[in-house]
């Protein structure tokens, strides 16, 4: 299994990287913390923590409107992040970068603005069988309102999209395809470029959920010709409460605003308003200034290490985890796609995932257990949930040994 | 049954006092879970289900001869062991005693972290469900 994932060379100093994450250096239940819940949220490097602290200690001011020095500094830093994001995800224009609360808000924004303006009765929305609830429920809501239909692109038992079936599902009624780049429950990497190409042949718009891919994989929205791309700051070593919606300029221009308020307006009269230009049209109210500024520090952190280095190293961790866990009696891997990010789900036939999670926590090991907000996917795989270990660039071989030892201890306790 | 809710709590605290590490404590809870009589399939109903993010719990209550008896099950064994303790403490008492009871043993045996466990699956919400069921019986008693 996973034989095509190669263990590549990397030139990262992991000990030095770990020193940048103070949270990792602590005891949990009298054992050194092993944090393997990175798909839920990554820890934050000092650079991000310092950026937050620095902003509140030196620059705090409301942006875009103030004429004073602090307001100008804060505005400049805020807008620097927009430029950094543009480069990081390979967008063409800075106006295509909209700051949100996170992936979920980005998807809801598209559903409620583009969806409301463009969907009509009988239109079809294609989602994959492995979508997170946040890339499912917003579409169900607007589909219900507009009497549009949702169709599901099926997967095989390894957790890979059936691309032939996808092609069959596309037709002239398909208005939108919303697919995850990398699955949070399975780790599967979906062939985005191909998905976009096929959808565009039928005139459908494509939204890519990049929540799980942006910290691991090269993102090239323009090259893929993706129409919308969303991700969260807190899963890319950045702060919580900040995320990004990328949209093709022409699409964003044509979309009505999402929320009304300050910032998003051009002119307001008692009897109406005009809206502001991009990207401000979609950023009503005072934004999350500090977290947006600190997001740049997170992206810089990734850039300094290099995505290729990160990917190679994380792949080697994933391979090592396979080799260690596959010997455990009764363990079954869930999600065995050929192309994967460093996420591994597994189940035991006779041990409940919640029980496993409780015992591992006692051993100082943080993993995720449950349905991972993908209940329909769990149903498709005929399981109620999984245990999931997800690796980030600061994880080590020794930590995977600890996971193996913790699992062995749990097995002994439960059998 | 003469033994009070208070006495049973003291018994459990005593039982747990012999464990000096978490391994043994959890091994005991797992044992309790395994020993809890499985709930008859007819009681594994939607109304008896306490749905959680992580595991499922079924809680059935019966009111007979002036006392309430609880029956429970779960697909996760630690949760099942913990509920078995709640069942042991609260079963066989009057609805009034159950409603008015103060359960301090969870804290004393070092299981307080399970009180706030993920979402509705925590011991706190199971305890609440048990008290609500007892309260309904109490109201029925008064109505009769």
pLDDT digits (tens, 9 = 90+) for A277-335: 999 999 999 999 999 999 999 999 999 999 999 999 999 999 999 999 999 999 999 99
Number of domains forming the structure of chain B:
1
Asked if residue A395 belongs to a domain, the reply is yes
B54 with A29: Cβ contact below 8 A: no
- pLDDT of amino acid A66: 83
pLDDT in tens, B97-111: 999 999 999 889 988
B77–chain A nearest CA distance, Å: 7
Residue A161 maps to which CATH number? 3.40.640.10
* Interface confidence: ipTM more than 0.90: no
A371 with B53: Cβ contact below 8 A: yes
Q: Which 3 state secondary structure label does DSSP give A167?
A: helix
Q: Dig out the tokens for A332 from the structure.
A: 């079954």
Asked if residue A9 belongs to a domain, the reply is no
Task: Check whether residue A336 and residue A268 sit in a common domain.
Answer: no
Domain hosting residue B105, numbered range: 5-143
Number of domains forming the structure of chain A:
2
Catalytic residue among B2, B21, B41, B53: B53
Q: Which residue stretches of chain B are H helix?
A: 5-17, 22-35, 77-90, 95-100, 105-108, 123-143
Task: Check whether residue A204 and residue A350 sit in a common domain.
Answer: no
Contacts of A359 in chain B (CB under 8 A): 26
Task: Check whether residue A132 and residue A272 sit in a common domain.
Answer: yes
B75 with A355: Cβ contact below 8 A: no
Whether the predicted pLDDT of B117 surpasses 60 = no
Q: Which of A303, A335, A363 delimits the end of a domain? A: A303
Q: At what angle do helices B77-90 and A353-362 cross, to 10 degrees?
A: 90
The yes-or-no answer on residue B53 being catalytic is: yes
Asked if residue A28 belongs to a domain, the reply is yes
A195–chain B nearest CA distance, Å: 32
Q: Which 3 state secondary structure label does DSSP give A366?
A: strand
Size of interface A-B (CB pairs under 8 A): 39
Contacts of B121 in chain A (CB under 8 A): 354
Whether the predicted pLDDT of B122 surpasses 80 = no
pLDDT in tens, B72-106: 999 999 999 999 999 999 999 999 999 999 999 98
Q: What is the mean pLDDT of residues A151-156?
A: 98
Domain hosting residue A407, numbered range: 14-44+306-414
Contacts of A351 in chain B (CB under 8 A): 77
B54 with A353: Cβ contact below 8 A: yes
Residue B96 maps to which CATH number? 3.90.1010.10
Task: Check whether residue A259 and residue A378 sit in a common domain.
Answer: no
Q: Which 3 state secondary structure label does DSSP give B69?
A: strand
Asked if residue A18 belongs to a domain, the reply is yes
Asked if residue A7 belongs to a domain, the reply is no
Residue A19 maps to which CATH number? 3.90.1150.10
Contact (Cβ atoms closer than 8 angstroms) between residue A199 and residue A174: yes
Catalytic residue among A373, A375, A380, A383: A373
Q: φ, ψ for residue A12 (rounded to 5)? A: -105, 145
A36–chain B nearest CA distance, Å: 18
Task: Check whether residue A272 and residue A327 sit in a common domain.
Answer: no
Identify the H or E element spanning A312: helix A307-325
Task: Check whether residue A328 and residue A368 sit in a common domain.
Answer: yes
pLDDT in tens, B40-63: 999 999 999 887 667 888 999 999
A101–chain B nearest CA distance, Å: 23
Nearest CA in chain A to B54: A370
Q: Dig out the tokens for A273 from the structure.
A: 């308003």
Identify the H or E element spanning A53: helix A46-54
pLDDT in tens, A366-405: 999 999 999 999 999 999 999 999 999 999 999 999 999 9
* Beta carbons within 10 angstroms of residue A121's beta carbon: 8
């Amino acid at each position: 299994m996973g034989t095509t994932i190669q263990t590549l060379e990397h030139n990262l100093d992991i000990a030095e990287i770990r020193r940048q994450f103070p949270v990792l250096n602590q005891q949990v239940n009298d054992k050194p913390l092993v944090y393997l819940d990175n798909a839920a949220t990554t820890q934050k490097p000092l650079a991000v923590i310092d950026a937050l602290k620095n902003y509140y200690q030196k620059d705090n001011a409301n942006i875009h409107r103030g004429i004073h020095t602090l307001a100008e500094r804060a505005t400049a830093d805020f807008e620097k992040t927009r430029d950094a994001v543009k480069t990081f995800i390979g967008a063409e224009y800075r106006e295509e970068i909209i700051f949100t609360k996170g992936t979920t808000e980005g998807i809801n924004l598209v559903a409620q603005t583009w969806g409301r303006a463009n969907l009509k009765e009988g239109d079809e929305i294609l989602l994959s069988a492995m979508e997170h609830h946040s890339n499912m429920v917003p579409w169900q809501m607007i589909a219900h309102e507009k009497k549009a239909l949702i169709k599901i692109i099926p997967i095989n038992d390894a957790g890979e999209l059936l691309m032939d079936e996808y092609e069959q599902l596309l037709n002239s009624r398909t208005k939108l395809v919303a697919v995850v780049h990398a699955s949070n429950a399975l780790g599967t990497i979906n062939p985005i470029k191909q998905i976009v190409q096929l959808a565009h042949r039928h005139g459908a718009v494509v939204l890519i959920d990049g929540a799980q891919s942006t910290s691991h994989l090269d993102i090239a929205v323009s090259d893929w010709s993706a129409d919308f791309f969303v991700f969260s700051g807190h899963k890319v070593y950045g702060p919580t409460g900040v995320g990004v919606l990328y949209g093709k300029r022409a699409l964003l221009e044509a979309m009505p605003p999402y929320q009304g308020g300050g910032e998003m307006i051009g002119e307001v009269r008692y009897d109406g308003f005009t809206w502001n230009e991009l990207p401000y049209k979609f950023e009503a109210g005072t934004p999350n200034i500090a977290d947006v500024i600190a997001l740049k520090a997170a992206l810089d952190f990734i850039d300094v290490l290099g995505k290729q280095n990160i990917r190679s190293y994380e792949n080697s961790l994933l391979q090592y985890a396979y080799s260690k866990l596959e010997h455990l009696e009764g363990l079954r891997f869930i999600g065995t796609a050929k192309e994967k990010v460093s996420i591994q789900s597994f189940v035991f036939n006779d041990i409940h995932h919640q029980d496993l999670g409780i015992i591992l926590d006692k051993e100082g090991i943080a993993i995720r257990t449950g349905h991972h907000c993908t209940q329909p996917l769990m149903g498709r795989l005929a399981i109620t949930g999984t245990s999931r270990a997800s690796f980030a660039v600061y994880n080590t071989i020794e930590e995977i040994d600890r996971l193996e030892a913790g699992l062995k201890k749990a097995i002994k306790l439960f059998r | 049954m003469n033994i009070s809710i208070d006495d049973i709590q003291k018994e459990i605290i005593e039982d747990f006092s012999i464990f000096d590490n978490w391994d043994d404590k959890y091994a005991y809870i797992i044992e309790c879970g395994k020993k809890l009589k499985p709930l008859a399939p007819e009681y594994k109903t939607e109304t008896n289900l306490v749905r959680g993010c992580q595991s499922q719990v079924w809680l059935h209550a019966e009111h007979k001869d002036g006392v309430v008896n609880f029956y429970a099950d779960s697909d996760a064994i630690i949760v099942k062991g913990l509920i078995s303790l709640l069942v042991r403490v609260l079963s066989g008492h009057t609805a009034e005693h159950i409603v008015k009871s103060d359960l301090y043993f969870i804290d004393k045996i070092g299981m307080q972290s399970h009180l706030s466990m993920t979402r509705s699956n925590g011991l706190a919400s199971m305890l609440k469900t048990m008290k609500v069921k007892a309260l309904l019986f109490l109201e029925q008693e008064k109505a009769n």
